[in-house]
Amino acid sequence: MHIFKRNYTKFILLLLLSLFPKTILFAQENSLKTKYFTIYYAQDCSLAQLADRLHAASFLHIDIFPQQNNVQDIQSIVSDLFDSLYLEVSDIIDIHMYSFEGTIRIMPGREELREILGAYFKKVPNVASFYSHANNTIYFSWPDLTLGVLVHEMAHAIISHYFVVPPSTKVQEILAGYVEYSIRKKAGLQVVK
Ligand SMILES: [Zn+2]
């Protein structure tokens, strides 16, 4: 009876694992709600590092960064930063949707991103980021997340959301590329010509 019970528990656990693999995959995440996005990020991602990588100082006009252990401050900085960048991208392409709400998922690395992409592609591409129109979610690989990559995908999200019939992939890439160029230029970063 005892053995049966233990096996039964194991069986239930295995059943749960097979029913909710995604829940388990995302279990190690933190989240942050901004005006325009809900951001889920892997526990290893440092928000202070993220703010630095995204050149927060250029877009929020702040000089002093709080200490890394001041969780509240850094969360509000990152939240303001994503919303400011959203508005910058909107300005550049002249599409303003103040009711926009999207999801951002920052995965620990490309391997985890590939697992997500497996649901969309038969031949999974090795990419740093991806926007899914179906669930209005932008996925990133943490080590690859830069200012250019972020605003590029934000542009895709805005464009896809705005047009009833989304423009062709080529048109979208030209627009997203232009957004990336403009924002990098604004942040004083070297732009590839
Ligand atoms: Zn693109």
* C-alpha 14 to ligand 1 mean position (Å): 38
- Report CA 163 to chain centroid distance, whole Å: 21
Backbone angles phi, psi at 92, to 5 degrees: -60, -45
Bridge partners of residue 129, in order along the sequence: 140
CATH code for residues 32-186: 3.40.390
Q: Tokens for 152?
A: 């590029």
Question: What's the gap in Å between 189 CA and the centre of ligand 1?
Answer: 20
What mean pLDDT do residues 38-55 have? 94
Which secondary-structure segment (H or E) carries 7? helix 2-19
Distance 150 CA to ligand 1 centre (A): 10
Calculate Rg over the CA atoms of the chain: 19
The residue type at 184: R
Q: Which two tokens stand for residue 55?
A: 């050149």
Tell me the pairing of strands 29-33 and 37-42. antiparallel
Coil, helix or strand at residue 37: strand
CA of 181 from ligand 1 middle (Å) equals 13
For residue 125, the CA-to-ligand 1 centroid distance in Å is 13
Distance (angstroms) between ligand 1 centre and the Cα of 159 equals 11
Are the beta carbons of 107 and 39 closer than 8 angstroms?
no
Residue 82: its H or E element: helix 71-93
Q: Which of 140, 108, 136 is nearest to 127 (CA)?
A: 140
For residues 101 and 37, the answer to whether their CB atoms sit within 8 Å is yes
Structure-model confidence comparison of residues 132 and 17, the more confident one: 132
Mean pLDDT, the chain, integer: 85
**DSSP bridge partners of 106:** 41, 140
- Distance in angstroms (rounded) separating the CA atoms of residues 133 and 111: 21
Query: From ligand 1's centre to the CA of 67, what distance in Å?
Result: 34
Q: How confident is the model at residue 11 (pLDDT cuts 50, 70, 90)?
A: low
Ligand 1 centre from 172 Cα, in Å?
7
110-166: pLDDT as tens digits? 999 999 888 888 888 889 999 999 899 999 999 999 999 999 999 999 999 999 998
Q: Which residues pair with 41 in a beta bridge?
A: 30, 106
pTM assigned to the model: 0.81
Distance 126 CA to ligand 1 centre (A): 14
Ligand 1 midpoint to CA 73 (Å)? 32
Give residue 28's pLDDT: 77
Q: In the prediction, which pLDDT does 27 show?
A: 58
Ligand 1 geometric centre to CA of 188 (Å): 22
